């Protein structure tokens, strides 16, 4: 029976105009059209969305948690990218 | 990255848990943590799905259109909750259909409460009020569970379930304020569901083999007995308010502990139902098994259609 299993889809919902789509979970469906319809029933029963994206889960490529340290390390040492790095003397405004 | 030995990995894992850092699907986790979660989340999912049956029983016989629409919405929510939870088990590497087959073979359990029959319309009230009430009490702390996908599913579930409890309480309130027969019906439903609802929190702490480890892993945040006490303390005044009597002669306010003392739970009954000998165990599992078997051709047809569409697009 397992070979009849429908593929897994990741579901992203835009909750209102002006906001980006956000991952809400996943579901099983035979094709994209069914995935959108199922996502409507599973994830927007209380008007949580105005737009749905579905992506077949095996098309999602992720960074690996064990490599997170080296992957994100370059940003850690660059505190000068934040405005709080700089001293602004008292009396200077609008900066 | 240098290879870490298992003790070091476990130490770092526990450190994360202790610091309330959530565990996400691809993070390293002890095999027993993974297996505990797969067992717990899939059984939780099964409970949602099997839980549709006792209430589905009354959809066609709801007393009016409003009640029918509400009950339909509630049962549909339970299906949704089952689906959130099955996808959470899949993030742990479990196969969805295998976990469902485990339910059908009897290997996996589900909440014993659903092995009791729903004999009258008042049972829809008792189920919503007490069974969903107990479920919410169990699930609220799970919103802070250490495993991210489970915690996130619980946030959605809890938001949706508060209407479930209210609609049940509303049914009880209306019946309790109705004719003598209606009030008797409500009292009868409370009598039958009170003790099984208290059993929903699981065996007493002293006999609960999973509690200690689950608390250390922050899968569980409260013990069974703590939650059961909370349930009693919250529910007793609600019953009093609508003029129903909790079927427990030993129930008594205990000023010192600031909670109610209540009677001994019949744990033999509990274990008997868990082992499959409750009034509806066979019927429930059989209904689920049939649903899967009878839906087989639909799943096949949908796959065939999807394959055909794909081919058409490619050519």
Q: Is residue A1 over pLDDT 60?
A: no
B34 in helix, strand or coil?
helix
Judge: A4–B296 Cβ closer than 8 Å, yes or no: yes
- Residue A87 forms part of a structural domain: no
- Residue A43 forms part of a structural domain: yes
B266 contact partners, CB below 8 Å, separation of at least 6: B195
- Residue A41 Cα, gap to closest chain B Cα (Å): 8
A48 token code pair: 């949580």
A91 in helix, strand or coil?
coil
Segment-wise mean pLDDT, segments of 10 residues, chain B, 315 residues = 80 96 96 97 98 96 97 97 97 96 96 97 98 96 97 96 95 98 98 98 91 93 96 98 98 97 97 95 97 95 94 90
Q: Could you give the count of Cα atoms lying within 13 Å of A37 in the half-sphere of its Cβ?
A: 6
A27 in helix, strand or coil?
strand
CA distance A28 to B224: 34
pLDDT digits (tens, 9 = 90+) for A8-62: 999 999 999 999 999 999 999 999 999 999 999 999 999 999 999 999 999 999 9
Q: Could you give the count of Cα atoms lying within 13 Å of A59 in the half-sphere of its Cβ?
A: 9
List Cα–Cα distances, B268 to A12, B226, B229, B284, in angstroms.
47, 21, 20, 21
Judge: B28–A65 Cβ closer than 8 Å, yes or no: yes
Chain-centroid distance of CA B90 in Å reads: 18
- Residue A91 forms part of a structural domain: no
Contact list in A for residue B97 (CB cut-off 8 A) is 1-2, 5
Contact list in A for residue B303 (CB cut-off 8 A) is 4, 6, 30
Chain B contact residues (CB < 8 Å to A): 1, 24, 26-28, 73, 76-77, 80, 83-84, 87, 90-91, 95-98, 101, 152-153, 160, 296, 299-300, 302-303, 305-306, 309-310
What confidence score (pLDDT) does residue B3 get? 67
List Cα–Cα distances, B154 to A67, B26, B34, B85, in angstroms.
29, 20, 18, 9
The CATH number for A53's domain is 3.10.20.520
- Residue A56 forms part of a structural domain: yes
pLDDT digits (tens, 9 = 90+) for A58-80: 999 999 998 998 999 999 999 99
- Residue A55 forms part of a structural domain: yes
CA distance B252 to B274: 29
- Residue A89 forms part of a structural domain: no
- Residue A35 forms part of a structural domain: yes
Alpha helices, DSSP H only, in B200-280? 211-216, 224-241, 267-272
pTM of the full structure:
0.93
Domain with A52 in it: 8-64
- Residue A83 forms part of a structural domain: no
Number of domains composing chain A: 1
């Amino acid at each position: 029976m397992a070979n009849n299993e429908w593929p897994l889809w990741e579901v992203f919902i835009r909750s209102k105009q002006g906001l980006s789509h956000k991952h809400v979970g996943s579901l099983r469906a035979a094709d994209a059209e069914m995935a959108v319809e199922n996502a409507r029933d599973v994830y927007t029963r209380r008007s949580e969305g105005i737009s749905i994206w579905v992506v077949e889960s095996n098309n999602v490529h992720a960074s690996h948690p064990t490599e997170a340290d080296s992957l994100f390390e370059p940003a850690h040492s660059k505190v000068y990218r934040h405005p709080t790095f700089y001293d602004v003397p008292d009396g200077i405004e609008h900066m | 990255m240098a290879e870490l030995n298992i003790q070091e990995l476990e130490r770092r894992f526990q450190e994360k848990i202790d610091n309330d850092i959530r565990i996400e699907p691809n993070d390293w986790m002890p095999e027993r943590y993974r297996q505990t979660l797969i067992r717990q989340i899939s059984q939780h999912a099964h409970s949602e799905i099997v839980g549709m049956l006792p209430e589905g029983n009354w959809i066609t016989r709801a007393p009016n259109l409003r009640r029918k629409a509400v009950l339909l919405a509630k049962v549909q929510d339970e299906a949704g909750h089952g689906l959130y939870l099955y996808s959470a088990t899949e993030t742990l590497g479990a196969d969805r259909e295998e976990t469902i087959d485990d339910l059908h073979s009897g290997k996996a359990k589900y909440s014993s409460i659903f092995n009791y029959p729903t004999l009258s319309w008042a049972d829809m009230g008792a189920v919503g009020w007490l069974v969903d009430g107990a479920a919410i009490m169990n699930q609220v702390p799970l919103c802070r569970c250490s495993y991210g996908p489970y915690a996130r599913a619980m946030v959605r579930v809890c938001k949706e379930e508060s209407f479930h409890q209210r609609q049940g309480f509303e049914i009880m309130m209306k019946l309790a304020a109705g004719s003598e027969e209606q009030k008797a019906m409500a009292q009868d439903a409370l009598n039958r569901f009170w003790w099984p609802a208290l059993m929903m929190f699981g065996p007493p702490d002293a006999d609960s083999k999973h509690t200690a480890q689950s608390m250390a892993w922050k899968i569980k945040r409260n013990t069974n007995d703590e939650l059961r006490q909370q349930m009693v303390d919250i529910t007793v005044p609600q019953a009093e308010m609508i003029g129903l009597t909790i079927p427990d002669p030993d129930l008594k306010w205990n000023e010192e502990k600031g909670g109610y003392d209540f009677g001994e739970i019949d744990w033999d009954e509990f274990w008997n139902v868990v082992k499959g000998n409750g009034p509806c165990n066979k019927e429930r599992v059989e209904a689920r098994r049939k649903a899967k078997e009878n839906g087989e051709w639909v799943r096949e047809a949908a796959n065939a259609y999807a394959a055909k569409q794909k081919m058409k697009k490619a050519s």
